[in-house]
Chains A and B, each alone.
Chain A
Amino acid sequence: MKSTIFKLAILFIATLCFVSCQIQEPQTPPDYTKTGRIMFSFSDRNICFYSNLFDKLLRMNTYIQAADSDKQNVEDSYFESFKIRSKDNKTWYLINSGDTIYTINSDNKPFSSIGSRFSIKRMYCNPIIFENTGNNQWNIKTKNINLQDSIIATELNFNCTSDSIPKSFESADFNITGNTKFIVNQYNNQITFSCSITKSFKHLKNSSFCNFNIGACTLMAYNNSTLEEGSTQAEFEKLATDMQKIKIIYNNRTQTYTVGYSYNYSYNFDTNYDYYNFRY
């Protein structure tokens, strides 16, 4: 009898070993600084939108300043996607596939001279004014307007460090400083983002208007519905390869992302796409 019980016990344990097992692999670790990463992406995109507008103004200035005999060459090389039209040589229309994507109001003065003010309006957006503040620096100050996001307040400075008269943003070195505050509608939630540049965003010549080589910023986000808020420290630099390293600190947790240099700006601002509808 004892022997039978012993055998049954052995059998039970052996069976237990057989039936108890792992049935599922571990989950993939979550992106624990994802919120900070999204905050950085929105802010980076917002600044990128301004640098694109600024780039158009510098190009338009190059076009305006060109000799009449050279204008067609400038148009072909600086506005590949557009046809330039103007009725009064003051208001300029950049037309792509029949749509007026940009409307530019130029000053009587060259954009490179101190105090000159050029305004630019992208399709679906309110116009904004860039002003030359001297020392090869341009500035924008906006409040309560609609661009691709609803802007609460923006103050950005674009300081050219390579050319005395830059022909475009993309062909010169620039440092961008300042701050921007805007609202994004995200899944029925209105989220207010603010970005304060703590280490100037450095743009190097011959790279896209969205590519910044190095920089750092402090980011805040605030959900207007739930009243939740969060803050992030972000720092980025371009790697030797065509990659960008972004260090994000969110909720005392740090993570470094390595992403394609133009990872989230493959879209083109120069079409009639309504960026109000753009979502992360």
Chain B
Amino acid sequence: MKRNWNRKIIIAFVILSFTAVKAQDSITNVIHKFKPYHDVRLTLGTQKYEIILPLLLENLGDIDEVYINSFSFHPDTYYAGAVYTTGSFSASYVYQITKKLGLGATMAYCSFYNNYLDAETNVIVGKSVRNHIGIYPKMYNTWFSRPKFSIYSSMGLGVGWVFKNNTVGEERTHKTYWNITGQYTLLGFTIGEKLYATGEILGYGTEGIVKIGVGYRFNSFKKL
């Protein structure tokens, strides 16, 4: 008889513990109530194209490089070697107004560089460095949000500058021109609560096609 009572007590505890766990879950959902917050993030991105957007203005600035097919007394004697990039560095600030909508600004930098080689000997005779800087407002649309995970898309359009330095032999040229620049990201995600990791794929623009980084949210959630 005593044995039966012990068994009943154990069964009751197990049932109570499950109940308690379930009760705790529902409480968690309730206590995370959204409150607007500030967010900063730093990212590195892969940059596959030097012409980041269809930058007509940039091309106009570079008109001296357009090949003109005519008889010239000064044929090219050197050529551009492989073009490398540092990748894209960007710093963003976001003010998350609602659970879905965030507004902010991004500053992005990337550099492209190549050597110039003599056409006859293939010896390096110069180099070219193009530093791109872009600043633009940006809008974030978070379409899936959990406390430690979110998925978003973003879009920004603004202005950029290109600082171009060319050195060939003794001849040095410096040119600065502006262009329209920006970034569109189809799919981005964050993992983490306050300090979080971020990643973006399917991007197009100054910040690159694929990028990863870290971010920090200030006072993101308020406990009731």
A86 and B219 alpha carbons, distance in the complex (Å): 106
B84 touches A (CB below 8 Å): yes
By size class, the interface of chain B is 35 or more
**CB under 8 Å from chain A, chain B span 146-204:** none
Given A34-B75, A230-B73, A29-B117 contact (CB < 8 Å) = yes
- CB–CB B79/A30 < 8 A: yes
Nearest chain B CB to A13 CB, angstrom units: 10
Nearest chain A CB to B4 CB, angstrom units: 55
* Secondary structure call for the A interface: mixed
A255 and B76 alpha carbons, distance in the complex (Å): 14
- CB–CB A20/B87 < 8 A: yes
| Chain B residues within 8 Å of A18, by CB | 44, 46, 87
**CB under 8 Å from chain A, chain B span 93-131:** 112, 114, 117, 119-120, 122
B45 touches A (CB below 8 Å): yes
A189 and B70 alpha carbons, distance in the complex (Å): 9
Per-position binary interface string of chain A over residues 219-257, scored 1 when its CB falls under 8 Å from any chain B CB and 0 otherwise: 001010000111000000000000000000011011100
| Chain B residues within 8 Å of A221, by CB | 71, 73
A268 touches B (CB below 8 Å): no
Per-position binary interface string of chain B over residues 49-86, scored 1 when its CB falls under 8 Å from any chain A CB and 0 otherwise: 11000000000000000000011111111111111111
B142 touches A (CB below 8 Å): no
A21 and B214 alpha carbons, distance in the complex (Å): 22
- CB–CB A16/B71 < 8 A: no
Partner of B84, one of A8, A23, A35: A23
- CB–CB A35/B80 < 8 A: no
| Chain A residues within 8 Å of B119, by CB | 29-32
- CB–CB B46/A27 < 8 A: no
A186 and B79 alpha carbons, distance in the complex (Å): 25
> B-side interface residues toward A, CB under 8 Å?
44-50, 70-88, 112, 114, 117, 119-120, 122, 208, 211-212, 214
Q: Known pairs A16-B44, A228-B73; list 5 more (Cβ under 8 Å).
A: A23-B84, A27-B81, A30-B77, A30-B78, A38-B71
Smallest CB-CB A-B distances: 3 pairs: A19-B87, A24-B83, A30-B76
